[in-house]
Amino acid sequence: MGGKYRITGDKYPRMRRPSGRRRIVLAVIASVAAVGLLGWGTLQLIDVFTGGSKASAAGRASRDCARAADASRTSQQRQKPLPTPKQITVNVYNATPRGGLAKNTAGELKKRGFTIGKVGNATKAYDKKVKGTGLLLGARSATDTALPVLGTQLAGAEHRSDARRSGEVDLVIGDKFKNLTKKEDADKALAALAKPEPTPSASGKNC
């Protein structure tokens, strides 16, 4: 240096190490940040495994409800229109030992608007063999048309189809028969049959 610059005094500049307090503060900040990141990641995982599954389940339920609604509309479109009582010809047969049941029952059905065909004792195939209130017989095409309408007049009657081709239906009076269904109740059942309520979904969930 040629002696131009000289250090005077007894103190020299020194590099100081960071204090212990600063290191503690930095460590605390780093720990807090790590905990925060860990907590955020945990919340994301919880959302994936819970919220995501709920959303997926909701989507499946929505699709199920849509399919059920489509099936209900299709069923209603395919449903045959129900005949009125006047359009149904009923043959009334008595399969019990009690006399006069066929005649009286036919008279009551006529008052309620049904067209009456044959009236008399049941054939050998059914005589004293109908254990319930009655048996309603008709062609296969009457299974979801004439028979349900006639069935509103006699609660508990069995419905059965046979090989006939005519549109007439039979009411065979059974051993447990007492009277036709009360007219008020029969009218309510007939009205409900004409305007059925929507069918619930198979899963039982509200849509």
pLDDT at 203: 47
The CATH number covering residue 178 comes to: 3.30.70
136 part of a folded domain = yes
User: Strand order in 169-173's β-sheet?
Assistant: 115-121, 89-94, 169-173, 134-139, 158-162
Which ranges in the chain belong to alpha helices (H)? Answer: 20-46, 52-78, 101-111, 146-151, 183-194
In a domain, 73, yes or no: no
Distance between CA atoms of 121 and 118, rounded to whole angstroms?
10
- What is the model's pTM? 0.60
Residue 151 lies in a domain: yes
DSSP character for 87?
Answer: G
Q: How many domains, in total, are found in the chain?
A: 1
Predicted confidence pLDDT, tens digits, the chain (207 residues): 555 555 555 555 555 555 567 777 676 677 766 666 666 666 565 555 555 555 555 556 666 666 666 555 544 544 678 999 999 999 999 999 999 999 999 999 999 999 999 999 999 999 999 999 999 999 999 999 999 999 999 999 999 999 999 999 999 999 999 999 999 999 999 999 988 665 554 445 566
In a domain, 10, yes or no: no
pLDDT at position 77? 45
The domain in which residue 164 lies consists of 85-192
Phi, psi of 129 (to 5 degrees): -120, 0
